[in-house]
Every structure is written in structure tokens, then in C-alpha cells.
């Protein structure tokens, strides 16, 4: 391993990257673009949420609560329900997105200063909308709380603490992913695309232009060449990751709870495994066009569909679960969720780190075998 | 002393034999010309000698090292300019030089000296910051040669270095090759231009992967063409060519500009024979008939014709 030669390659590659304004603009703007699209989808403003009410209390307080909801433009009261079995019908037939069940001891509890429970049954099929519905319901309940606390206080002279407690139940999708849970997947997806596409393109470009001959004839080793080649793109991907984390904080208020150092090193290992996919693609494709198509397909699709980014892996059929291992994003998401959201350390995800390293080793070995076979026949 | 010794080198691509049992030696400091038509196997041979393509069988010693057993040592001691353009167009002159200096691991002080030298031979002093893509072809070629030998190799392989370059630049490039050779560097060069072959100390002609002629320019002319060559200047050149082709005293005919070269055999008696044939029988005016010294082109047409006959009689 000769660092001078690796440095020469990395330096040259940085120059290519900085001089190719178009490519650079795409590589930097693309993540921002994705972030805005996803940010928009996540923050999608839902108005006129259809609600149905099962009021078992029939008190003035329960009517007051219902009015406080239907009085805003967020909710549309579709109608009343009078028995348990209708709840399912209403949700199944999409007559309402949310059913509110007010128990018969509701007002009694409030006046006795015992926490009163209201049940919200939300159609969780569209996880995203369900989250938003939940947020609106929470907000409405909070407002109502404040209102009646003041009211009860002035009317009865007693101080009521938390008269109302919400108990949302997700009817169809119990492990509903919240806004936060999408960000790690987004980071993984963006990094894998940037890294795989740029590494494979930069390697195939040398093949296509014939400059690889000049490198092959020099004493440089393939590990030195590859390490030098991936360095600028790994650095670029790290820059992208930083941008997304900052934007995640600004746009969604998501703070990194765990260690930045751990985040950095696990990202590095992840990018190494992503780069190995890029190297593999460069071995099997002869033109930049082929490499680009393969790279986008092999990085984008699995990282969206199979990584657990949007669809939970546990609920996939076992055969598909096996296939989820073709993307290192699967492991990286677990790590990111652990570091960013839970703030836990290596003990929570060392297995995933090993899987990512194994992934890289397997892919690089495969690439090497194919390369040797190609050279023999060429 | 031999700088390169090639022994029974063969390369097969599937069932197709691109290089067929080739053997030759190149002396130290020599300019060795490697000639052949498109697809003859020149590049394939060179790539094997540079240890970037594994031979199917055979071996070669390149600067004391075996291409099969010590490919890394071979690579350290050679320079190679591939047939396809070998510089990075989006980098500046200086960045290209820096890159190759780094890849060959030159020491700082040595590198500075070599960088000056490359800039000098490419005539690019003071133009270090120019983008390579904006350089004229001839200058690019010289810069490519400079970067290919930045590590002062003992042997240089140049694969069609002058293709697509204007004649004056080509001439300058060859001056540079002579300069390298005078410093004791062995140069193996392929070319399509036969007049360039005249600049080489030794020449090999390769066809369909096989060597079909070799020697110095003079040796080739002497050894391969035993029969007399006549140059005929006449009108209706094409018609005359067709007539001459059918005569039993003519072995080969070919057109050179507006004259015809024919190789005659023992059935040929004198000029009158030709004049009678063309002027009396076919009313073609003959202006001059000269016996000429063969050019390399005559030699190559001759040996290629022979090779074609051998090939077709075998098949
Ligand atoms: N990697 C390869 N796979 C299959 N066939 C190949 C390969 N490389 C070269 N060939 C074939 O081998 C033959 C010799 O090619 P080579 O490039 O050595 O010819 P050349 O003499 O350099 O020709 P040119 O003057 O066009 O450069 C050609 O027919 C070519 O198509
Ligand atoms: Mg060639």
C-alpha cells in the first residue's frame, strides 16, 4: 500500500469532480431536492379530516368537545355512530378517517378530577396521513383541555390537573412510522445513490475513454487505485449527510441524540459498502450509460423498497426478507435510528456494522472474481 | 545486448488467434518499428509486453524481467503510450504531469526536474495552467509522451503515437523519439505510416497475428524483392493496370499516384515488350519506363500478396 499513489489518484479525482460543474450540481442539489419532496410529503397539510363520533356520554361536556373539533376547518363531522360494530364499518368503507369514542363516564370523570379517556380510532393504512390526523387530534384535545380547565376552575373553584387523556389506537398499522422515522431512511437512500452512481461512473469513464490503460501499466495496485477513486465521493456523500442532518433539524426539529463520532464512523463504513456496489457495477459495465442505469436501479430501488425505509421488513414474506439483504441501507437505517432517535451506543448496533463490512467483502470478492474471469477471456 | 526478447508469444481471444507464435528481439537503444494493417495484432502484442494482458502461451523478457513471472517489475521499467488518448482533457497540463508523477511515486526533487523536462519537450513552458483539451493535437501527443516516460524508463512502447497528427508535428515527434533513443532508451513503436518506418533501425511486419517480414529497411528491400520493379508512366492508368495484370511476365502490379509499379519475372525481356503491348495493341500512350529501387511500400505490398496467397492456398 503506497499512500503517495493513492493520494495522486484521489487528488486527480477531486479535480474531475470540481471541474464537472453539472455532475457536481446534481450530486449536491439532488439530496436537497429529495429532502424538499419528502419534507413536503411529510408535512402535507391535511384539511377536512372526516370524523365520526360515538358519544356514549351524551352530556353537555361531550357535545362541547365534539363542537370544538368540528368547529375548526381541520375536521368535518360526518355523523354519529350508535354501536361498536359500526366503528369498523365506518372505517372500512372510508366514511370517516377517524372515529372518536367518548366513554359514558367522560363528564363524570372530568368533574371528579379523575383523568377522562377519549378513544380515537384512526385509519392507519396511509401511515403518513394517520400521523397527521393524530397530530391534529392531539392539538384539538390540548386546546380543549386548556379551555375546560379554566372553565371548571372558575365555575367550581377546584383546580383540575389533566382532565383529558387521549388514547389513540391505530387500527390497521400498529407500528405507525412517524415523521422522525423517515429521516434515517432518507439519509441512507441519498448516500447510497450518490456513492454508487459517482463511484461506478468515475471508474467506467476511465474504461470508456481508454485512460485506464495508462493507469494499468503503472505500478499502482488495484487497492490503491480504488481507495483513491472512492475518497472524493465518500467525502461528498458525507457532506450530503451533514446537509440532511442540518436540514432535518431546521425543517423537522430532529436532533441527533447520540454521538456524532459514532455517526461519522458508521457512515464511513456504510459508504465503504455502498462504494463496493459501485465498484461491482463498474466491473460489469463497459459504458457510462449502462453504468449509470445499473447504478441508479441497484441503489435506488432496493433502498426504497427493501431497506425498511418505508415498508417495515418484519411484515414482508420471508422470501422477500431474504432479498432485503441486497442493500446495505437496511443495516444503516437501524444504526441511524439508534444513534439519531434513540441516542444509544455501539452496543445497540454492532451487529449491523459487521453486516455492512461483510456485505462489502462479499461484493468486492464477487467483483474481483468477475474481473479476473473477464481478463482471462479478454 | 537485447532489451526485449519475445519467445513464441501467442494470444487467443476465444477461438480467434490475434497474435500467433511471435518471436523477435529488440536491441538496447534501438528504434524498433512494428508495422501491420488494422487488426494485425500490434496493440495486442504491445499490451502483452507491457504486462497488462496475459499471453495465452509464450513469454517475453522485457528489460531483464519476464512478463509472466514478474509483471510488476516489468511495469516499473517501461513507459507506455496507449493507442487511445492517454491524458485527462479536463485537467490542466500541470495537473496531468502531477498525476503521472504521483502514480509513479517520484521523489519531490526528481519530480520537479522531470516536470521541467516534460514541459520543455512538449513546448509548454509557461502554459502549465492550460486545460489539456484546448491544446493542439501535436502538442498533446508530445505531452502524452512526456508523461509516459516521466519515470525515466529503459524501454518505451508507443502505440500509433502519431495517428491523426499533421505531417510537421509528426516529424517533430520523431525527432523526439530519436532523442530518447540517443539517450539509450529502447523504443518500440507501431505506425501506419510507411515513411515513418524508414526512421526505424529495425522493422517487423505483422499480418493476421504472424510476423511476415523483418529486418532493417535496406535488408527488407534487398531480401524480399529479388525481381526488378518498373515504374511506368502512361495515360489511362486503370486500363493499363488491368492489361498488365494479365501478362505472364508480370508478377504484381500496383498504382503509385499516376504511375504504375510492376514486378516483372524472367519472362520479361525489355521495355519494347511493354510499349508494344500498351501502345500498339491498346493505344495507351507510354511516357516513361524506369527500373526503380523498391520502396518499403513495394516490399509490404509484395509480402502481403504472398501472405494472402499462402493463406488462401492453406484454407
Ligand atoms: N479484447 C479483445 N477481445 C476480442 N478480440 C480482440 C480483443 N482485442 C483485440 N481483439 C482482436 O484482435 C485483433 C488484433 O487487434 P489489435 O488491436 O492488436 O490490432 P492492431 O494491429 O493494433 O490494429 P490497429 O491498427 O487497428 O490498432 C483484432 O481483430 C481485434 O478485433
Ligand atoms: Mg492497435
Does the pLDDT of residue A268 top 90, yes or no?
Answer: yes
pLDDT score recorded for residue B181: 94
Is the confidence at residue A260, as pLDDT, over 90? yes
What is the least distance, in Å, from the CA of A325 to any CA of chain B? 36
Q: A359 vs chain B: nearest CA distance in angstroms?
A: 30
Contact list, A210 vs chain B (CB under 8 Å): 82-86
CA atoms within 13 A of residue A144's CA, in its CB half-sphere: 25
pLDDT at B314: 45
Per the DSSP assignment, residues forming a β-bridge with B140 are none
Which of the two residues, B86 and A41, has the higher pLDDT score?
A: B86
Same domain for B131 and B18 = yes
DSSP A114: P
Lowest mean pLDDT among A10-24, A105-119, A149-163, A210-224: A149-163
> Which of the two residues, A286 and A247, has the higher pLDDT score?
A286
Nearest to B52 among A9, A15, A216 (CB): A216
Supply the pLDDT for residue B305. 79
State residue B278's pLDDT score.
87
Q: What is the pLDDT of residues A335-366, one digit of tens each?
A: 998 898 778 889 889 999 999 999 999 999 99
CA A18 to chain B, closest CA, distance in angstroms equals 10
Contacts of A219 in chain B (CB under 8 A): 72, 75-76, 104-105
Structural domain includes residue B180:
yes
C-alpha B21/C-alpha B60 separation (Å) is 12
Question: Is pLDDT at A69 greater than 90 in this prediction?
Answer: no
pLDDT tens digit string along A118-150? 888 887 666 666 776 777 777 777 777 777 776
Distance between B86 CA and the closest CA of chain A, angstroms: 5
Over residues B107-120, the pLDDT tens digits come to: 999 999 999 999 99
| Closest to A329 (Cα-Cα) out of A230, A226, A194 | A194
pLDDT tens-digit profile of B36-65?
888 899 999 999 999 999 999 999 999 999
Q: Report the percent of chain A where pLDDT is more than 90.
A: 35
Whether B109 and B230 share a structural domain: no
In this structure, the answer to whether residues B36 and B129 fall within a common structural domain is yes
pLDDT band for A377, please (50, 70, 90 cuts): low
| CATH classification at residue B260 | 3.30.70.100
Amino acid A44: pLDDT: 46
Residue A197 has pLDDT above 80, yes or no: yes
CB B163 less than 6 A from any atom of ligand 1: no
> Within its chain, how far is the Cα of A320 from the centroid?
20
Ligand 1: atom nearest CA of B160 is: 27
Residue B301 lies in a domain: no
Please report the pLDDT score of residue B44 as a whole number: 95
Q: Is residue B309 part of a domain?
A: no
Residue B90 is given by DSSP the state T
The beta-carbon neighbor of B102 closest among A5, A16, A20 is A5
> Looking at B216, B235, B267, which one is the last position of a domain?
B216
Lateral strand order in the sheet of B16-27: B16-27, B2-13, B57-62, B65-66
> What average pLDDT does range B145-171 have in this prediction?
92
B272 and B173 belong to one structural domain: no
A377–B104 C-beta distance less than 8 A:
no
Q: Please report the pLDDT score of residue B279 as a whole number.
A: 86
List Cβ neighbours of A156 (8 Å cut-off, separation of 6 or more): A111
> Is the distance from the beta carbon of residue B206 to the nearest atom of ligand 1 less than 6 Å?
no
Among A7, A16, A377, select the one facing B102 at the smallest CB separation.
Answer: A7
Provide the number of structural domains found in chain B: 2
Ligand 1 lined by B42 (C-beta under 6 Å): yes
Whether B83 and B208 share a structural domain: yes
What residues are paired with B7 via a beta bridge?
B59
Pocket probe mutation, ligand 1, options B9, B39, B158, B163, max atoms within 8 Å of Cβ: B39
Query: How sure is the predictor about B177, in pLDDT bands with cuts at 50, 70 and 90?
Result: very high
Q: Residue A128: what pLDDT? A: 63
ipTM > 0.85? no
3-state secondary structure B37-69: CCCCCHHHHHHHHCCCCCCCEEEEEECCEECCC
Name, in order, each residue with C-beta under 8 angstroms of A326's C-beta and a sequence gap of 6 or more: A302, A306
Residues B260 and B131 in one domain: no
pLDDT of residue A125: 65
| Same domain for B109 and B199 | yes
Cβ of A8 within 8 Å of Cβ of B99? The answer is: yes
Q: Does the distance separating the beta carbons of B100 and A210 come in below 8 Å?
A: no
Q: Which of A20, A213, A376 sits opposite B82 (nearest CB)?
A: A213
Q: Dihedral through CA B268, CA B271, CA B277, CA B281, nearest 10?
A: -160
Name all domains of chain A by residue range, CATH numbers in brackets. 3-42+177-377 (no CATH), 49-155 (3.40.1710.10)
| CATH assignment at residue B16 | 3.40.50.300
Q: Does B80 contact A214 at a Cβ distance shorter than 8 Å?
A: yes
Q: Please name the residue whose Cα sits nearest to atom 18 of ligand 1.
A: B41
What residue numbers bound the domain in which B67 lies?
Answer: 2-216
pLDDT (0 to 100) of residue A181: 66
- pLDDT at residue A171 in the model: 42
Quote the ligand 2 centre to B159 CA distance (angstroms).
7
DSSP 3-state assignment of B21?
Answer: strand
Query: Which one, of A124, A212, A206, A237, lies nearest residue A173 by Cα?
Result: A124
Q: Assess whether B57 and B178 both reside in one domain.
A: yes
**DSSP assignment letter at B92:** B
Q: Is pLDDT larger for residue A345 or for residue A175? A: A345
pLDDT for res B99: 96
**Mean pLDDT value across residues B95-100:** 96
The full DSSP string for A230-248 is: HHHHHHHHHHHHHHHHHHH
Highest mean pLDDT among A98-107, A117-126, A190-199, B287-296: A190-199
pTM for the complete prediction? 0.76
Rounded to the nearest angstrom, the distance between the alpha carbon of B17 and the centre of ligand 1 is: 10
- Residue B192 counted as domain residue: yes
Q: From the CA of B83, give the closest atom in ligand 1.
A: 27
Report residue B195's pLDDT band, with 50, 70 and 90 as the boundaries. Answer: confident
Q: What is the pLDDT of residue B311?
A: 67
Domain shared by B66 and B143, yes or no? yes
pLDDT at A67: 85
**Minimal-distance CA residue to ligand 1 atom 17:** B43
Question: Which pLDDT value is given to residue A146?
Answer: 74
Q: Is the CB of B13 under 6 A from ligand 1?
A: yes
What's the rounded mean pLDDT across residues B82-102?
92
- In angstroms, rounded to a whole number, what is the distance separating the alpha carbons of residues B85 and B139? 13
Residue B162 domain flag: yes
C-alpha cell at A209: 475513454
B279 lines ligand 1 (CB under 6 A): no
Please write the tens of the pLDDT for every residue from A6-30. Answer: 999 999 999 999 998 888 898 888 8
Atom of ligand 1 nearest to the CA of B40: 21
Chain A residues closer than 8 Å to B76 by CB: 219
Mark whether B83 and B143 lie in a shared domain: yes
Q: Which residue's CA is minimally distant from atom 31 of ligand 1?
A: B39
Is B101 a pocket residue for ligand 1 (Cβ < 6 Å)? no
Q: Which residues 6+ apart lie within 8 Å of B280 measured at CB?
A: none
Task: Give Cα B81 to chain centroid, integer Å.
Answer: 14
Rounded distance, CA A213 to CA B80, Å? 9
Evaluate whether residue B314 is within a structural domain.
no
Q: Which pLDDT belongs to residue A173? A: 31
- pLDDT tens digit string along B239-272? 888 898 888 888 888 888 888 988 888 888 888 8
Ligand 1 pocket member B44 (CB < 6 A): yes
Say yes or no to pLDDT of A157 above 70: no
| pLDDT recorded at residue B164 | 81
Please indicate, yes or no, if residue B18 is contained in any of the structural domains: yes
Q: Which residues surround ligand 2, an ion (CB under 5 A)?
A: B 42-43, 83
Domain boundary among B190, B216, B242: B216
- What is the rounded average pLDDT of the residues B204-217? 90
Residue A66 near residue A53, CB atoms below 8 Å: yes
Give the pLDDT of residue A94.
Answer: 80
Calculate what percentage of chain B has a pLDDT beyond 90.
Answer: 58
pLDDT at A110: 79
Residues of A with Cβ-Cβ distance to B105 under 8 angstroms = 2, 4-5, 219
Using CA coordinates, name the residue in chain A closest to B84.
A210
Of B166, B190, B216, which closes a domain? B216
B102 and A375 in contact by Cβ < 8 A? Answer: no
Distance from CA of B98 to the nearest CA of A (A): 8
The average pLDDT across A34-43 equals 65
Mutate which: B87, B103, B158, vs A, most A CBs within 10 A: B103
CB contact (8 A) between residue B84 and residue A377:
no
Same domain, B39 and B176: yes
Q: Are residues B185 and B231 in the same domain?
A: no
Average pLDDT over residues B160-165: 87
Q: Indicate the residue of A7, A9, A210 with minimum beta-carbon distance to B82.
A: A210
The pick from B15, B20, B33, B42 for probing ligand 1's pocket by mutation, whose C-beta has the most ligand atoms within 8 angstroms, reads: B42
What is the rounded (10 degree) CA torsion for B202, B205, B206, B210? -80
Amino acid at each position: 500500500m503506497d499512500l503517495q499513489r493513492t493520494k495522486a489518484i484521489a487528488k486527480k479525482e477531486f479535480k474531475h469532480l470540481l471541474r464537472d460543474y453539472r455532475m457536481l450540481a446534481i450530486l449536491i442539489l439532488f439530496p436537497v431536492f429529495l429532502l424538499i419532496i419528502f419534507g413536503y410529503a411529510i408535512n402535507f397539510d391535511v384539511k377536512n379530516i372526516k370524523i365520526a363520533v360515538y358519544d356514549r356520554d351524551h352530556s353537555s361536556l361531550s357535545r362541547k368537545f365534539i363542537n370544538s373539533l368540528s368547529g375548526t376547518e381541520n375536521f368535518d363531522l360526518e355523523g354519529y355512530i350508535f354501536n361498536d360494530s359500526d366503528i369498523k364499518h365506518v372505517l372500512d368503507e372510508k366514511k370517516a378517517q377517524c372515529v372518536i369514542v367518548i366513554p359514558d363516564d367522560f363528564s363524570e370523570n372530568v368533574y371528579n378530577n379523575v383523568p377522562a379517556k377519549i378513544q380515537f380510532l384512526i385509519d392507519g393504512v396511509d401511515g403518513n396521513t394517520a400521523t397527521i390526523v393524530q397530530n391534529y387530534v392531539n392539538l384539538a384535545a390540548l386546546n380543549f383541555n386548556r379551555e375546560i380547565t379554566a372553565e371548571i376552575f372558575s365555575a367550581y373553584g377546584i383546580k383540575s390537573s389533566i382532565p383529558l387523556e387521549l388514547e389513540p389506537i391505530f387500527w390497521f398499522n400498529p407500528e405507525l412510522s412517524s415523521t422522525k422515522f423517515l429521516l434515517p431512511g432518507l439519509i441512507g437512500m441519498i448516500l447510497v445513490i450518490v456513492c454508487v452512481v459517482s463511484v461506478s461512473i468515475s471508474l467506467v469513464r476511465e474504461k470508456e475513454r481508454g485512460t485506464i490503460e495508462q493507469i494499468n501499466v503503472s505500478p499502482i495496485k488495484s487497492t490503491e487505485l480504488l481507495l483513491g477513486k472512492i475518497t472524493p465521493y465518500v467525502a461528498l456523500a458525507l457532506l450530503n449527510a451533514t446537509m440532511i442532518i442540518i436540514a432535518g433539524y431546521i425543517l423537522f426539529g430532529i436532533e441527533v441524540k447520540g454521538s456524532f463520532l459514532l455517526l461519522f464512523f458508521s457512515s464511513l463504513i456504510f459508504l465503504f459498502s455502498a462504494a463496493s456496489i459501485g465498484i461491482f457495477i463498474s466491473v460489469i459495465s463497459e459504458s457510462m450509460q449502462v453504468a449509470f442505469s445499473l447504478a441508479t436501479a441497484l441503489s435506488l430501488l432496493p433502498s426504497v423498497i427493501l431497506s425498511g425505509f418505508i415498508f417495515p421488513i418484519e411484515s414482508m414474506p420471508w422470501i422477500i426478507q431474504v432479498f432485503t439483504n441486497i442493500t446495505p441501507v437496511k443495516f444503516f437505517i437501524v444504526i441511524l435510528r439508534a444513534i439519531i432517535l434513540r441516542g444509544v451506543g455501539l452496543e445497540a448496533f454492532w451487529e449491523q456494522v459487521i453486516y455492512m463490512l461483510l456485505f462489502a467483502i462479499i461484493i468486492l470478492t464477487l467483483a474481483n472474481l468477475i474481473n479476473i474471469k473477464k481478463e482471462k477471456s479478454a | 545486448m537485447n532489451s526485449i526478447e519475445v519467445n513464441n508469444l501467442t494470444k487467443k481471444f476465444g477461438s480467434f488467434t490475434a497474435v500467433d507464435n511471435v518471436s523477435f528481439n529488440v536491441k538496447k537503444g534501438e528504434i524498433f518499428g512494428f508495422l501491420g494493417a488494422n487488426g494485425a495484432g500490434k496493440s495486442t502484442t504491445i499490451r502483452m509486453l507491457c504486462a497488462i494482458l496475459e499471453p495465452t502461451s509464450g513469454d517475453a523478457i522485457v528489460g531483464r524481467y519476464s512478463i509472466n513471472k514478474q509483471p510488476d517489475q516489468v511495469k516499473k521499467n517501461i513507459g507506455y503510450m496507449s493507442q487511445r488518448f492517454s491524458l485527462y482533457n479536463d485537467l490542466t497540463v500541470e495537473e496531468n504531469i502531477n498525476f503521472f508523477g504521483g502514480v509513479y511515486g517520484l521523489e519531490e526533487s526528481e519530480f520537479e526536474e522531470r516536470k521541467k523536462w516534460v514541459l520543455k519537450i512538449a513546448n509548454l513552458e509557461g502554459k502549465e495552467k492550460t486545460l489539456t483539451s484546448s491544446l493542439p493535437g501535436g502538442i498533446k501527443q508530445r505531452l502524452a509522451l512526456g508523461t509516459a516516460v516521466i519515470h525515466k524508463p529503459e524501454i518505451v512502447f508507443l502505440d500509433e503515437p502519431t495517428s491523426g497528427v499533421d505531417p510537421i508535428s509528426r516529424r517533430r515527434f520523431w525527432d523526439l523519439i530519436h532523442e530518447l533513443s540517443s539517450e539509450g532508451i529502447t523504443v518500440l513503436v507501431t505506425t501506419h505510416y510507411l515513411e515513418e518506418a524508414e526512421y526505424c533501425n529495425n522493422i517487423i511486419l505483422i499480418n493476421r497475428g504472424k510476423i511476415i517480414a523483418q529486418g532493417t529497411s535496406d535488408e527488407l528491400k534487398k531480401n524480399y524483392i529479388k525481381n526488378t520493379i518498373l515504374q511506368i508512366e502512361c495515360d489511362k492508368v486503370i486500363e493499363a493496370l488491368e492489361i498488365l495484370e494479365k501478362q505472364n511476365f508480370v508478377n504484381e502490379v500496383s498504382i503509385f499516384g499516376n504511375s504504375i509499379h510492376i514486378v516483372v519475372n524472367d519472362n520479361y525481356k525489355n521495355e519494347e515488350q511493354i510499349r508494344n503491348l500498351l501502345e500498339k495493341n491498346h493505344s495507351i500512350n507510354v511516357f516513361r519506363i524506369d527500373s526503380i529501387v523498391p520502396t518499403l511500400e513495394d516490399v509490404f505490398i509484395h509480402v502481403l500478396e504472398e501472405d494472402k496467397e499462402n493463406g488462401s492456398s492453406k484454407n
